[in-house]
A and B are shown apart, each in its own frame.
Chain A
Amino acid sequence: MSNVVSIQDSALHHSHEAHESHHHQSFISKYVFSQDHKTIAKQFLITGIIWAVVGAFFSVVFRLQLGFPDSTFPFLENLFGHWAKGGKITPEFYYALVTMHGTILVFFVLTAGLSGTFANFLIPLQIGARDMASPLLNMLSYWFFFAASIVMIVSLFVQTGPASGGWTIYPPLSALGEASVGSVVGMDYWLVSIGLFIISSLLGGLNYVSTILNLRTKGMSMTRMPLTIWGLFFTAILGILSFPVLLSGAVLLLFDRNLGTSFFLSDIIVAGKILPNEGGSPILFQHLFWFLGHPEVYIVILPAMGITSEILAINSRKPIFGYMAMIGSFFAICTLAFLVWAHHMFVTGMNPFLGAVFVLLTLLIAVPSAVKVFNWLTTLWRGNIRFTPAMVAAIGFVSLFISGGLTGIFVGNAALDIALHDTYFIIAHFHLVMGVAAFFGMFAGIYHWFPKMYGREMNNTLAYIHIWVTLIGAYLIFWPMHYTGLAGMPRRYYDYSNWESFKMFGGMNQFISIVVIIVFITQFLFIINFFYSIWRGRRATENPWGATTLEWTTPVNPGHGNWPGEIPEVHRWAYDYSKDGKDFIMQTTPVGEEETKGH
């Protein structure tokens, strides 16, 4: 315990100095190579927003192809040159877009943009710390992410195009330039970029975990932390334990591509050429990939769950229902996340017994997920709900999580997965449950903590329009895809018009593409609102939502070090809403004599 205190003291000491000197910081050390967790969070967020626009735009382009396979769009040729000759994208480019869409959204937006933003921003503020355990590593974490972004952007401009083997980059397709143009050099850029990204994510993750464990303020026991912090804590643990495995897979794939090894290659005849490789296994790569790939979806969704829990409680003016059960279910999901990766591989010819074990463990995850959903519902029950934009987004999250989560029960069951694997059913499932739902968690978080980030408020009207249109759009886009999936329509097809079994879905594809364009344009309402409000939004008050947690005890624009005076002491959990007739009781308020005991 004394150890912890001394670390606290030194952190306090260090940041006092930092606080004193922060007026003299140059522009570069304040805004560019900043070590302030709040600035780093904003850097992650804005980089993430830029990537989200790029990734979403790619999806619009390939949706144009899917929705209007017989039309041409001359502006595409202006934009993409020979990749879209005559205004129609080539199949190679279609697959490059699909690959980049997945990579960008999963890694750069929903991992770095989501947990990078909120872990950096909220952990020190909500647990009562001056900054992260290591501000330097924290800064490096962002700059490695930045470097990864640059490499990925460069890969978009190489002559043979970016990686185009799907975001799961299964070899041999990703290993052999003869098999796909994207694998000529684009894949090397992809692997280097993801390598840098993994370093970034590890630096960040180690920092988040050590900060949460060591730098909590006095009185902030683990079980008094807001659920956002719990969500981010488990996210960081998942990342630390699973990202290195992907790194090893990426390095081995680089070897196979460039040094003539045969980790993933065997018995291959490609483009009329017999390759010398023998003894490798393409399936081995899938194991390495999904050992990260599956925890990755929880890396994406856990922060969103934490944010949602927090926002539902605050705006229902009620404590989150079943706080300990929420932590327990986080723990269960986090543990099971490591034990289910092979459910992505039911049809690779795996041992049926192994498959059975993975069915059991996969469907087990539905139990903690159900606990979470029912706890959220009970949190709303008999509340006094304020529909702030964040609250509407959080309710949207719960709805999307239910819709997408239930289809997980279908695809997690191996027998059904035989029929549904790699069809549109899968697209519908994971876009709802981890794609759009995680985005709603992110939107909720941004709308909720914007006043803390920039000292100003976002425009509510724009926010409501944005959220409602996006929610309706998400259902219109992805719900019909369940039906195409049940018709066996495969994913990642450039054109369905030559297929007797699937050509009748042309009309639906067109409808979906139109909705995609509308939803894409609507996102600019958010972006305009975001950037306009940074400078011109209404000035925020200290605690605009009437929340109990520590970040709202700082000044409206907290400086480096967060609290001008001493770090406040915590006396209670984060969810004393509507207790003993009071609307809310700050965590810093000492427990009164007559107060009802316990929570």
Chain B
Amino acid sequence: MKELFLAAIVIIIFVVIFQIAKASEYVSILKGEEKAKKQNNRINGYLMVAFLIAGMIGLWYCNKLYYGKTLFPQGSASLEGETIDTQMFITIAICAVIFFLTQILLFWFAFKYQEKDNKKAYFFPHNIKLEIIWTTIPAITLTVLIVFGLKFWFHITGDPPKNAIMVEITGHQFGWDMRYPGEDGIFGKKNFKLYNQPAGNSLAVDFNDPESHDDIRTTEMVLPVNVPVKLVIHAQDVIHDVGLPHFRMKMDAVPGTPTTMWFTPTVTTAKMKEKTGNPEFVYEIVCDQMCGKGHFSMRGVLTVVTLDEYNKWLKQQKPEYWSLFPDKAPSNKPQQNSDSTTTAIAATNIN
């Protein structure tokens, strides 16, 4: 009923607008075409300035409402993200100048040079000097942006620092799994054909590879602050994307083609709670590549803690191998020794 009522109102408004519009045609015939055209022109001329002024006020108001909700006020939570923010501000500053210059000129010219009786347009077909000016100035400006941009790009996509820890993250419909390499710092091999959900091997890890024996599997990502971390990114079914908006980081997870990305968290979750004044604050892992019906719910949580807390947390985690093969779990020291021997042999083999 409510919908019918609304539809009726819309139709009535339409009929009224249409009648007014039709009537304005007859009025213009009565009044004289020329006069009506001039009036239209004047109205639209004023609308141009009105649009410009209202638009500028709108921009200011929009900025006032929403700037605080962007990620800028809290700053980047990673060292590399800070360079991206720097680049962002340089770009915003340059683009804002061009934006205001061109928009103001556009609507101001439209208003100022509207048709007048005693005026003739100025025949001005070309001017090579002007063309050169507005080819070179944008070219120089862009060069600046490109140089800065590529400097940051090569830094971010380059090799991570030597002391980086490694975490593997695997996307699937619809969630994330994390794996830590354990004490040896090396992930056990994976082979998608070994996938066996009922047996608990949903990450398709090759447990014949001894390097997998100390690998830790978690559902939450915990990272130490101020230590570079390199993420090794996998996907099982379709393309996902590990998005870390607070760290300004993002990388696709592609089935069959592992990718990597690295960054250095600089603010712990606890500190960010203080900074944002939001006790509920968490770093969220976002899926940034459309991956099916549950795309919007593919949420992961990342916690940044101090190095001490991180080490303590890591110690509490048990390798996945132990829980899947409880008989292999080390209750005595000799077995652990033999384990590390195999690891050493495997490492030599790889080298």
Q: Which residues of A contact B (CB under 8 A)?
A: 74-75, 90-92, 95, 164-166, 170, 172-173, 176, 179-181, 265-272, 274, 278, 280-283, 316-325, 347-349, 352, 355-356, 359-360, 363-364, 366-367, 370-371, 373-378, 380-387, 392, 395, 398-399, 402-403, 406-407, 409-410, 413-416, 418-419, 421-423, 459-462, 464-465, 468, 471-472, 475-476, 479-480, 483-484, 486-496, 498-501, 504-505, 508, 521, 524-525, 528-529, 538, 575, 577-581, 599
Contact = CB atoms under 8 A, between A and B. Distances in A.
A292 B117 CA distance: 49
A386 B243 contact: no
Contacts of B297: 495, 498
A283 B254 CA distance: 8
B109 A266 contact: no
Contacts of A75: 3
Contact of A422 (B106, B124, B289): B289
B208 interface: no
A494 B254 contact: no
Contacts of A360: 146, 150
B90 to A, nearest CB: 10
Interface residues of B, number: 121
The 6 closest A-B pairs by CB, nearest first: A488-B245, A266-B256, A349-B259, A387-B44, A352-B157, A483-B66
Given A384-B115, A387-B114, A577-B121, A483 B62 contact: yes
A581 B88 contact: no
Contacts of B59: 479
Interface of B: 3, 10, 14, 17-18, 20-22, 24-25, 37, 40-41, 44-45, 47-48, 51, 55, 58-59, 62-63, 66-67, 69-72, 81, 83-84, 87-88, 91, 94-95, 98-99, 102-103, 105-107, 109-110, 113-116, 119-127, 130-131, 134-135, 138-139, 142, 145-146, 149-150, 152-154, 156-158, 172-173, 192-193, 195, 197, 204, 233, 236-239, 241, 243, 245-246, 248-252, 254-257, 259-260, 278, 280-282, 284, 286-297, 299
A418 B251 CA distance: 8
A499 B83 contact: no
B250 A528 contact: no
B288 A385 contact: no
25 contacts: A170-B238, A173-B292, A179-B238, A282-B239, A318-B124, A321-B127, A349-B260, A356-B153, A383-B121, A384-B116, A384-B121, A385-B115, A387-B44, A395-B106, A421-B250, A479-B62, A480-B62, A487-B69, A491-B290, A492-B290, A493-B295, A493-B296, A499-B286, A500-B280, A524-B14
A486 B113 contact: no
Contact of B173 (A179, A406, A501): A179
Given A75-B3, A179-B237, A269-B204, A499 B113 contact: no
B243 A488 contact: yes
B12 to A, nearest CB: 13
B146 A269 contact: no
Contacts of A266: 255-257
A521 B10 contact: yes
A384 B120 contact: yes
A269 B41 CA distance: 64
Given A91-B294, A382-B121, A418-B248, 15 more contacts: A173-B238, A316-B121, A318-B123, A347-B252, A355-B157, A385-B41, A402-B103, A406-B99, A413-B153, A415-B84, A418-B250, A461-B25, A501-B245, A501-B286, A579-B123
B25 A356 contact: no
A185 to B, nearest CB: 16
Given A267-B192, A385-B114, A282 B18 contact: no
B239 to A, nearest CB: 6
Given A318-B123, A402-B99, A462-B17, A490 B154 contact: no
Contacts of B122: 318, 381-383, 578
B156 A599 contact: no
Contacts of B296: 91, 492-496
Given A172-B255, A359-B146, A268 B192 contact: yes
Nearest to A465: B17
Main SS at interface, chain B: helix
B113 A176 contact: no
- Of the listed residues A268, A505, A599, the one surrounded by the most CB atoms of chain B closer than 10 A to its CB is A268
Given A349-B251, A387-B114, A487-B70, A528 B14 contact: yes
Contact of A317 (B110, B121, B294): B121
B255 A371 contact: no
A269 B173 contact: no
A378 B106 CA distance: 9
B290 A472 contact: no
B58 A475 contact: yes
Contacts of A459: 21-22, 24-25
Contacts of B245: 419, 423, 487-489, 501
A496 B94 CA distance: 32
Contacts of A268: 192, 236-237, 255-256
A334 B249 CA distance: 32
A385 B110 contact: yes
A356 B158 CA distance: 12
Nearest to A96: B293
Nearest to A324: B126
Contacts of B116: 384
B97 to A, nearest CB: 10
Contacts of B153: 352, 355-356, 359, 413-415
A217 to B, nearest CB: 23
Contacts of B152: 415
Contacts of A380: 106, 109-110, 113
Nearest to B251: A347
Contacts of B288: 347, 421-423, 490-491
A498 B287 CA distance: 14
A500 B246 CA distance: 12
A79 B170 CA distance: 39
Contacts of B45: 385, 387
B81 A399 contact: no
B109 A352 contact: no
A13 to B, nearest CB: 38
B72 A377 contact: no
Given A382-B122, A385-B113, A486 B250 contact: no
Contact of B286 (A165, A475, A479, A490): A490
B102 A166 contact: no
Contacts of B157: 352, 355
Given A347-B250, A377-B105, A461-B24, A321 B99 contact: no
Contacts of B121: 316-318, 382-384, 577-578
B135 A371 contact: yes
B142 A366 contact: yes
B120 A575 contact: no
A282 B171 CA distance: 15
A282 B195 CA distance: 21
A166 B292 CA distance: 9
Contacts of B22: 459
B109 A488 contact: no
Contact of A386 (B24, B41, B134, B195): B41
A367 B293 contact: no
B18 A490 contact: no
A73 B110 CA distance: 44
